[in-house]
Amino acid sequence: MQNWAGNLTYAAREVARPATLDELADVLRRADRVRALGSRHSFNDVADTPGVHVAVDALDDGRPPVVVDPATGVAEVAGGLRYGDVAGVLHAQGRALRTMASLPHISVAGAVATATHGSGDTTGSLASAVVGLELMTSDGERARLGRGDADFAGAVVSLGALGVVTRVALETVPAYDVRQEVALDVPWDTLLERFDDVTAAAHSVSVFTSWAEPTVRQVWFKRTVADGEASPDPFGGRWATEPVHPLPGIDPAACTPQLGVPGPWHERLSHFRLEFTPSAGDELQSEYLLPRRNAVAAIEAMRALAPRVAPLLQTTELRTIAADDQWLSPFPEDSMAVHFTWLPRDEVAAVLPDVEAALLPLGARPHWGKLFAVGLRDVGATYPRLGDFRRLTERLDPAGKLRGPFLERLLD
């Protein structure tokens, strides 16, 4: 079996799809090595194992897949569900999430475990909405952790090291509508001089560029309708008058509605529609998360690398994320993400050290599920609570069943 992009063939000798919690417990007890497998949208071996892959997309724990507490608004959802499926159920009950990733196709448990995120100055990663977890440890025992528990901040962004997550409890807010508009050809000088104004102009803002273009190709503004009718300033650019795709020349049919037409939050916050496969996986991805205070310096550093990276790029996306306190979260302070969608070419591996030479001195950390060149020992050294996380894994998984090659490189 391969990952979604097809750049990695998994080493697992077996894929198990338990239908019940008892079946899941049996798999965990008999396996010598085991890892949970989500929607396979990781580009490295973070989810790999030489043993058994466990997929929980068919798991039935005897409860409805999505249950919303009317008193608190907390939604308990099956970990194997895709965010797009969860969002539709929440909206039908008048509830919403504060943020969505660019793809609604990713699984809840997998996205949370790797600190996947959307964009917004005041919104954290998908993991920041988590208030509780139900998981099954490697000995087949059930555990539940909630916000406020001593180990909770180490258990959410867990890289699958603590057990197979079966339920995730998420904070929700009342449902809301969003307008999406795209500004084209924003001058670089304007973005650099007014970066904070640009990212504060909407609930969610994404900047797309190849770095070599004379202007910023696109800036996507996703505004809640409560923000008012007026469009934000296009910041020296011009408003798109027809739908666009983040990649030049690509049919935008798979993209969420634009042109300022209001609609439900879950049909605007992601860049792509759930009913479409946004690509055939013919891409590679890298992403680096760095302190927001260094955003302008990072943009300038990447522009200087344009001749090196642009020939290998489909696009780069810049997003902002609010800080959280989770042990393995790459967002210890308000941050900017620099996300690279590469052409599926071997030369990408050779350019990553150049990108990292520019961004790592600015405090950048690689996304856990993307491609990067820096060694995992060096990555781990940037996380002050890694030792606490290692001890937590040893307590919940003393035999090391859940340690695939990625975790062994990180924790050993």
Pick the CATH number of 66-174 from 3.30.1330.60, 3.40.50.300, 3.30.565.10, 3.30.465.10: 3.30.465.10
CA-based max dimension of the chain: 62
Residue 228 pLDDT: 59
Residue 142 and residue 138: Cα distance in Å, rounded? 10
Residue 230 pLDDT: 62
pTM for the model stands at 0.96
Residue 277 pLDDT: 76
Provide the H-helix boundaries in 289-404: 295-304, 306-309, 348-359, 376-380, 386-396
Assess contact for 261 and 330: CB atoms under 8 A.
no
pLDDT for 328 beyond 60 = yes
Q: What is the pLDDT of residues 256-290, one digit of tens each?
A: 999 999 999 999 999 999 998 766 568 999 999 99
pLDDT for 227 beyond 80 = no
Residue 276 pLDDT: 86
Q: What is the pLDDT of residues 1-30, one digit of tens each?
A: 899 888 999 999 999 999 999 999 999 999
On the CB side of 76, CA atoms within 13 Å amount to: 18
Residue 50 and residue 53: Cα distance in Å, rounded? 9
Residue 73 and residue 271: Cα distance in Å, rounded? 26
What mean pLDDT is reported for the chain?
A: 95
Residue 134 and residue 129: Cα distance in Å, rounded? 15
What dotted CATH number matches 177-366? 3.30.70.2520
Burial 332-356 (b: 16+ CB within 10 A, else e): bebbbbbbbbbeeeeebeebbeebb
Assess contact for 324 and 127: CB atoms under 8 A.
yes
Q: Residue 412 — pLDDT band, cuts 50, 70, 90? A: confident
Our separate counts of H helices and E strands in the chain read 12, 19
On the CB side of 259, CA atoms within 13 Å amount to: 8
Residue 100 and residue 98: Cα distance in Å, rounded? 7
Q: What is the pLDDT of residues 25-71, one digit of tens each?
A: 999 999 999 999 999 999 999 999 999 999 999 999 999 999 999 99
Burial of 213 per CB tally in 10 Å (0-12, 13-18, 19+): middle
Q: What is the pLDDT of residues 373-411, one digit of tens each?
A: 999 999 999 999 999 999 999 999 999 999 999 999 999
Q: Where are the domains of the chain?
A: 66-174, 177-366
Q: What is the mean pLDDT of residues 360-374?
A: 98
Residue 280 pLDDT: 57
pLDDT for 115 beyond 90 = yes
